[in-house]
Every structure is written in C-alpha cells, then in structure tokens.
Amino acid sequence: MLNPRVKGGVVFCLLIPVVTIWLGLKIDAYLGWSLDFGSIRYALSCILILFGGIIITWALIYLQRRGHGTPSPEKPPKDLVTDGPYGFVRHPMFLGYFICGTGSGILFRSLGVILITLPVLIVLSIAYLKREENILIERFKDAYRIYSKKTPFIVPHLYWKR
C-alpha cells in the first residue's frame, strides 16, 4: 500500500496530467480540432515544459530548505516562506504545473487541452488552493494575511516594482 504522501504525488504528478491530456485529445477528436505551430511546436512545447518544471523544482527545494517541510499535509512547512519563488506568487508549484500543461497541449497539438481541460483543471485547483489558504491563515495568522495581500495568487505581476 502506498504512503498517502506518495499517493498524492502520483495522482498530482502523473494521473491528473495524463487524464487532462487524454480528455483534451478526446475532445479534439470529437470536435475535429487540431493545433499546429509548425516547425516551432517542439521547441515551444519543450521550453514551456522545461520552464514549468524548473519553477516546480525551485519551489519544492525552496519550501524544503526555507520552510523546513514539504507541500504534503503530512509534513507541512514549519515556517512561512515569502521569498524566492514564493516572493513572486503564493502558489508557484501550481504556476509551473499550468505552464507544463500548456506546453503539453502544444506538444500534442491539442486545442482541447489548452481551451477546455486545462482551464477546468485551473478552476478546480484554485478552489482547492482557496481552502488551503484558510489552513495557512490558521497556521501562520497575520503573517500569512500580510503576505497574501502583497503577493499575487498564481499569476505574477508583469512589471517590476521600483
């Protein structure tokens, strides 16, 4: 039997992406959709998947080193992390995940992934993260409230503050 932490990781990192892509491809086949970026398709998809993966890895390592914990509820961070990738957005792992999903949609030439299944996944993730933020407010009190007021949820500001 798998440890719940491992099971959650398998579901989040393997099962959800596979189902998202599979459903998107089924929608494409049903509606006759196809997405083609020509010869840059592979380069563009690889760049997005790599960039998303780097964000996820950076956030995981940073959370372990600075927060002294993991994203798992079984071993949550002991300290609130507000710098590094968490200085740009409150949920950088999800940002990376969505960037990877977009790259995967381009790789598989799937408008269904990009226009339907990925947005549904984003909406469900936001609902999940809103509940998670209530737990973070309970754990870190005003420190998290202050952090959440000055740091974007998932989409970083597209300008530099001076």
Cα(14)–Cα(102) distance, integer angstroms: 16
Q: pLDDT, tens digit, for every residue of 32-65?
A: 988 888 889 999 999 999 999 999 999 999 999 9
Cα(31)–Cα(23) distance, integer angstroms: 12
Cα(74)–Cα(7) distance, integer angstroms: 12
Q: Residue ranges per domain, the chain?
A: 7-150
Domain 7-150 architecture: Up-down Bundle (1.20)
Q: pLDDT, tens digit, for every residue of 15-25?
A: 888 888 899 99
Token pair listed for 101: 């999903």
> Residue 96 carries which side chain, given as an amino acid letter?
G
CB contact at 8 A, 24 and 112 = yes
pLDDT of residue 2: 58
Q: Which of 154, 134, 115, 133 is nearest to 28 (CA)?
A: 115
Q: Rg of the chain over CA atoms, in angstroms?
A: 17
* Angle at CA of residue 143, ends 130 and 12, nearest 5°: 35
- DSSP three-state, residue 108: coil
